[in-house]
Amino acid sequence: MKIPDNFLYYLSLHEDCNERLLARAEHLRTEDVEVCISPEVVRIKKMVYAVMGETHRMKAFVRLQPLRTKVLYGFLRPRHRIGEHICDHFARRNAGIIVVLGNASESWISLCRDGRIWRDHGRGLYESLEKLKRTLHESLHEREKETDLPVQDVEVLWQIYYDSQYCPERKNLAAFHRQMPRKDQDSAGLRMVQNKKNATLEDFLSD
Amino acid sequence: MPMVTLEKIAHLAEECRFDSLGQAQSLAMVDVDAKKLRTLGEGTRHDVCASTFSPREEPLLGICHAFTQDGRCVSLFKTLYTNHCTHQCSYCTNAANCSSKAKAFSYTPEELAKITLSLYRSNYIEGLFLSSGAGRDEGSVMEKMVETVRLLRQKFAFSGYIHLKVLPGCSQAHIQEAVELADRVSINLEAASASHMSEICATKNYESDILQRQRYIRDMKMKPVAGKVVLPAGQTTQLVVGAAGESDEEIFKRILYEYNEIGVKRAYYSAFSPQGGTPFENRKAQPLWREHRLYQMDWLYRVYHFQTDEICHAFDENGLLCNADPKMAIAVEFMDKPLDPNTAAFRELLRVPGIGPRSAQKIVAFRKRQPIVAKADLAAMGIRIKRAAPFLKINGWRDTTLEMWQD
């Protein structure tokens, strides 16, 4: 990974970052962070990498489910303050759809429309989804779809496909664990879903 | 960017009449035969798709959405269109001459597009990797594959990554369409030469079915269409390693041709493993390390720009790589004295085991500010000092663990 020019942004999202550290990092150029070996700069570099790493893995591991026709939602409990950033990413990918990510205690809501992003930051995921359900004036026809959404189907499709890709003669668990660290799977609620194929919304919300 | 209330967001979303989810909704309930999904998925297990990075005008990131227990990434919905095939590749379980063939399945373009869309929307995949058996004839299967991709791109406005396999022997017109729709296309070489191909497959003509199709792709008009880069992730290829008794040096010769004459972006290597029911079921499996060493050789040529004769030095008298880092063997042979990282050129630094392009760049940037005075400086930059130390000399310090410098 290369240190990006906007490394201060990533640094500011780190769980241990504070105003003081940001102020001290402000005068650094990208190249300084890449090359300097002073303990403080090395620490800043590691913090930037930690946030970039988690950001990348959340874009990869968070799974989305549709709620009726206007909403996609998923579980997210990141270590760093990247909830909004990840939510925006999925909103851009699904323009016109409200993306809600979160966990039992907080949630992020983003909508991308006409190239712009609108956001809200709410309490628990469940609460935000309930509020959206009440607010969205969807037709009766659309509401009926709520009960027969293909959520499980997609998960089942995925599981069959995923299993088909495994080559037993190449088994390499060390590589698997290196690529899918447990902490990142936890942040994206991934293991939970794989263990419980029939995970429901409520499973995401019990801590 | 504004922070607004949930009510406002709900209102704004309701005003959108056209959206990706709405389209997907109409095709959400895909009724797929589980056995078909599994069989056609298994058919691509040995195909490698490394990255989904695509340098479009707005570059697409490479994202790996999951990894299997063998540590390989699953970032694309990688599948065959059909496992029905009339070719007789002696290593392949879908070949006409395999005695334990699975039942023949085939998708329809609509079905395949829907599965891809629903997996993509839920963020399981970055896109589609579509390969296939040749069916009764490669032309009609290629037609269906192109139709699938056209449906995705044009009807469903799918903007994910698409890697489309070009079937050996298919028409130039189909190749043109494939190139216009996909991020990346590839034809598998499978063998290192025409004679090795005849050893493993009696029904494919290496020159006309494969190399000629690669040249078609190379020579196609790549002018941007409506400001869009055509085939942004380029052409690649893949070889089965060790099925026909070829040496690594023969593979390397072929790869030189591929990189220099065809202009492939990358070559992939898949170590041969014998499959039950195929004519090659009793042949020896190739060790996975052979595949790994070939990739290292490939990187030395493609990324590190080592000279051909330097790389050839890593082959033994039988033209094979041994199970050790070829870069180390080359360094021992060609580096006649330890390097001072304070004065060595970038190209020289790259030749040191443990120092790659990024590390070499860091060293060059670091020494502009202050001299490198100790091993610890290099270690703090993130350089793998254990491997590099025997080849370096800093301020009179050097490790003399290698016999060659103990005179």
The per-residue pLDDT string of chain B (407 residues; one tens digit each, 9 = 90 and over) reads 568 888 899 988 888 765 554 454 444 556 788 999 999 999 998 888 777 899 888 888 888 999 988 888 899 999 999 999 999 999 999 999 899 888 999 999 999 999 999 999 999 999 999 999 999 999 999 999 999 999 999 999 999 999 999 999 999 999 999 999 999 999 999 999 999 999 999 999 999 999 999 999 999 877 777 778 899 999 999 999 999 999 999 999 999 999 999 999 999 999 999 999 999 999 999 999 999 999 999 999 999 999 999 999 999 999 999 999 999 999 998 888 899 999 999 999 999 999 999 999 999 999 998 899 888 889 888 888 889 988 999 876 655 555 444 44
**A42 and A73: one domain?**
no
Domain that holds residue A39: 7-56
Distance of CA B47 to the CA centre of its chain: 9
Question: Of A19, A34, A56, which one is at a domain's C-terminal end?
Answer: A56
Distance CA B3, CA B346 (A): 49
**A150 and A200: one domain?**
yes
Asked whether the CA dihedral B97, B99, B100, B105 is positive or negative, the reply is positive
Within 107-146 of A, beta carbons closer than 8 Å to B belong to: 109, 111, 113, 116-122, 128, 131-132, 135-137, 145
What is the distance in angstroms between the CA of the first residue and the CA of the last residue of chain B? 68
What is the distance in angstroms between the CA of the first residue and the CA of the last residue of chain A? 33
Produce one character per residue of B82-120: b if its CB has 16 or more CB atoms within 10 Å, e if not: bbbbebbbbbbbbbebbeebbeebbbebebbbbbbbbbb
**A190 and A169: one domain?**
yes
**A134 and A33: one domain?**
no
Helices A151-164, B34-42: crossing angle, 10 deg rounding: 30
Domain count, chain A: 2
**A82 and A184: one domain?**
yes
Are B38 and A160 in contact (CB < 8 Å)? yes
Which residues, at least 6 apart from B369, have a Cβ–Cβ distance to it below 8 Å? A35
Residue B229's pLDDT is 86
**A130 and A160: one domain?**
yes
| CA separation, residue B231 to residues B48, B119, B151, B176, B225 (Å) | 19, 23, 17, 11, 11
Residue A113's pLDDT is 92
Q: What angle do CA A185, A190, A194 make, to 5 degrees?
A: 130
pTM (two decimals) = 0.91
> Which residues in chain A have their CB less than 8 angstroms from residue B70's CB?
166-168, 170-172, 175-176
Q: Which CATH class is domain B30-284?
A: alpha beta
Q: Check if the beta carbon of residue A188 is closer than 8 Å to that of residue A57.
A: yes
Are B68 and A167 in contact (CB < 8 Å)? yes
Are A166 and B30 in contact (CB < 8 Å)? no
Q: What secondary structure letter does DSSP report for B154? A: I
Taking only the tens place, the pLDDT of each residue in A151-184 is 557 888 999 999 999 988 889 999 999 999 999 9
Share of chain A above pLDDT 90, in %: 66
Are B37 and A160 in contact (CB < 8 Å)? yes
Produce one character per residue of B252-261: b if its CB has 16 or more CB atoms within 10 Å, e if not: bbbbeebbee
Produce one character per residue of A11-35: b if its CB has 16 or more CB atoms within 10 Å, e if not: bbbbeebeeebeeebeebeeebbbb
Q: Check if the beta carbon of residue B339 is closer than 8 Å to that of residue B346.
A: no
Please check whether residue A2 lies inside any domain of the structure. Answer: no
Residue B52's pLDDT is 83
Q: Check if the beta carbon of residue A32 is closer than 8 Å to that of residue B93.
A: no
B357-365 long-range contacts, CB within 8 A, separation 24+ = B357/B303, B357/B304, B358/A2, B359/B383, B359/B384, B362/A34, B362/A35, B365/A31, B365/A34, B365/A35
Q: Where are the domains of chain B?
A: 30-284, 287-334, 336-405
Are A60 and B63 in contact (CB < 8 Å)? yes
Distance CA B322, CA B332 (A): 15
Residue B30's pLDDT is 65
The shortest C-alpha distance from A48 to chain B (Å) reads 15
